[in-house]
Amino acid sequence: MNDAASPVALLTAANYKSATKPIWCPGCGDFTVLSAITKALASLQLPPHEVAVVSGIGCSSRIPAYTACYGFHGVHGRALAAGTGLKVARPDLTVLVTGGDGDGYSIGGNHFMHACRRNVDLTYIVMDNHVYGMTKGQASPTTEPDWDNKLSPGGTGIRSFHPLVIALAAGASFVARAFAGDPNATANLIAQGIRHPGFAFIEVLSPCVTFRPEQREWKQHVHAAPVAPTDDAARAARRIMTDDGFNIGVLYAGNRTPYAAHCGNTAHSVAGLEAEFEL
């Protein structure tokens, strides 16, 4: 029993992990992203029951099941739609939306742009491995045009999608790039994203060691962004367009007012809902 003299136990990263064991391939970057999320939540001392983790489908989208927070593992490409709805209905919750580049930029690309535009106060964490991992290695929107594999011999020849710049153009109010190989730095960026009011987008370079084993070399390429974050979206976009793709840190922190729901009268009971929809 706690009394005035008893210290309150601090939450640790372990308090945010569920008993479900991840089934990712050994060495997958998503392990450390899970660890970074739990460290970030612990650093903010957010009670697990006040946090919801929402995802679509993919290896990376398994994250909600591995946390002890509320979770929703939904439909491929619809994570942001579900997460946005949840945050608007329950603004008291901290909402994290998680997933992969296929889930978020391909089938979910439309939701991505409009989530940036709406600027609802949630944090979107994309584990970008430039491939569809779960469905065995198809090219994704962020796959390099010359990536040669048996499903796209000679490469797709299609220009890669640039999620960070598109997020800026669409109105995201916080844009950061992280590297899964550094869970402490990633945790710090996620914590900053959670604290930032508005739509915070954190792109995490998270190697798929099975279908893109060459991504193990990312650890030799990543480096801290050489300049401080800017609140000027045009300047941030110019920097991101011309960087080498491995700048890590907060790249843009703006100050747009987050979307505030004006729900009007809501029905709080089944009877109330039935009355509202009565013809």
Ligand X SMILES: Cc1ncc(C[n+]2csc(CCOP(=O)(O)OP(=O)(O)O)c2C)c(N)n1
Question: CB under 5 to 8 A by kind: which of ligand X, ligand SF4, none does 211 bind?
Answer: ligand SF4
Q: Please, what is the minimum distance in Å from the beta carbon of residue 134 to ligand X?
A: 4
Distance CA 252, CA 229 (A): 5
Closest by alpha carbon to 99, among 121, 125, 122, 68?
125
Distance CA 132, CA 55 (A): 15
The reply to whether 239 sits near ligand X by the rule CB under 6 A is no
Distance CA 272, CA 116 (A): 33
Is 208 or 253 the residue whose CB approaches ligand SF4 more closely? Answer: 208
The reply to whether 28 sits near ligand SF4 by the rule CB under 6 A is yes
The reply to whether 132 sits near ligand X by the rule CB under 6 A is yes
The reply to whether 209 sits near ligand SF4 by the rule CB under 6 A is yes
Q: Which of residues 8-27 bind ligand SF4 (CB under 6 A)?
A: 24-25
Question: CB under 5 to 8 A by kind: which of ligand X, ligand SF4, none does 135 bind?
Answer: ligand X
Distance CA 240, CA 244 (A): 8
Which tokens in the block code for residue 259?
A: 């979307």
Q: Please, what is the minimum distance in Å from the beta carbon of residue 160 to ligand SF4?
A: 18
Q: Say how many CA atoms lie within 13 Å of 149 toward its Cβ.
A: 18
Closest by alpha carbon to 114, among 67, 66, 80, 148?
80
Question: CB under 5 to 8 A by kind: which of ligand X, ligand SF4, none does 132 bind?
Answer: ligand X
Q: Please, what is the minimum distance in Å from the beta carbon of residue 155 to ligand X?
A: 18
Q: Is 251 helix (H, G, I), strand (E, B) or coil?
A: strand
Distance CA 36, CA 31 (A): 9
The reply to whether 59 sits near ligand X by the rule CB under 6 A is yes
List the one residue from 71, 100, 183, 254 that touches ligand X (CB under 6 A).
Answer: 100
Which residues pair with residue 138 across a beta bridge? Answer: 132
Binding site for ligand SF4 (CB under 6 A): 24-25, 28, 30, 59, 129, 133-134, 208-211
Binding site for ligand X (CB under 6 A): 57-60, 76, 99-103, 107, 127, 129, 131-135, 140, 208
